[in-house]
Amino acid sequence: MTDDRTTGTDPGEVTLGRIETEVALLMRFGEATRRGTGTMEHRLLDRAAYVILRHLADAGPQNVSALAATLNLDGSTVTRQLSAMQRDGLIARAPDPTDGRGTVVSPTAAGLQRMAAVQAARTRLYGDILATWSPDDRDTLAQLLHRLNQALQSRPRPR
């Protein structure tokens, strides 16, 4: 490793570069771990359906535009994902009581059941992966990941 003082590299930039690398690796290893896990529960939902169902379970029924804004996705992308989820019986649509032209999306019992199975499998997996970590380290990781996700979510989207 080089000494940042002799290369003229800003230590803050070095740290940001390390963060960028670690986040890229986290996404890569997370997906590889999900695909490489032998249990069926991990494959009950694709990543998009899982995230949508988790959000709907926490926030309640949403219209497509609110869901897209919350997940920082384009409305047409969310609409396509929801159409596939509706075909699979994971979500239901109902008229939006505040806007007669729109619809509100909510999880079905089957969708919630699949989501819960995936969540339980992932929780067990991370329990195994982090088994040697102290409870304080696990808590710190959870807090920092939450802060990172909040910062990513609140970042303005380019138009």
* Confidence at residue 4, expressed as pLDDT on a 0 to 100 scale: 47
Residues 6 or more apart whose Cβ sits within 8 Å of residue 88: 49
Quick check: 45 and 108 in contact, CB under 8 A? no
Res 83: pLDDT: 95
Q: In the predicted model, what is the mean pLDDT of residues 116-134?
A: 92
Question: What confidence score (pLDDT) does residue 39 get?
Answer: 66
The whole-chain average pLDDT of the chain stands at: 87
Yes or no: say if 103 and 95 are a contact pair by the CB < 8 Å rule.
yes
**Higher-scoring residue by pLDDT: 129, 99:** 129
pLDDT score, position 40: 67
CA angle (53 as vertex; 35, 80 as ends), nearest 5: 80
Looking at the structure, give the CATH architecture of the domain made up of residues 39-154: Orthogonal Bundle (1.10)
> Closest Cα to residue 153, out of 145, 93, 16, 27?
145
Q: Once rounded to an integer, what is the mean pLDDT over residues 110-131?
A: 92
pTM comes to: 0.79
In which element (H, E) is residue 143 found?
helix 135-154
**2 pLDDT above the threshold of 80:** no
User: Hey, CA dihedral for 74, 77, 82, 83, is it positive or negative?
Assistant: positive
Asked whether the predicted pLDDT for residue 8 surpasses 60, the reply is no
Token pair of 82, please?
Answer: 């929801």
- Domain range annotation of the chain: 39-154
pLDDT in tens, 43-92: 678 888 999 999 999 999 999 989 998 888 888 999 999 999 999 999 99
CA 89 to chain CA centroid, Å, is 21
> How does DSSP assign 48-113, residue by residue?
HHHHHHHHHHHH--EEHHHHHHHHT--HHHHHHHHHHHHHTTSEEEEEETTEEEEEEEEE-HHHHH
**What is the token pair recorded at 150?**
């909040």
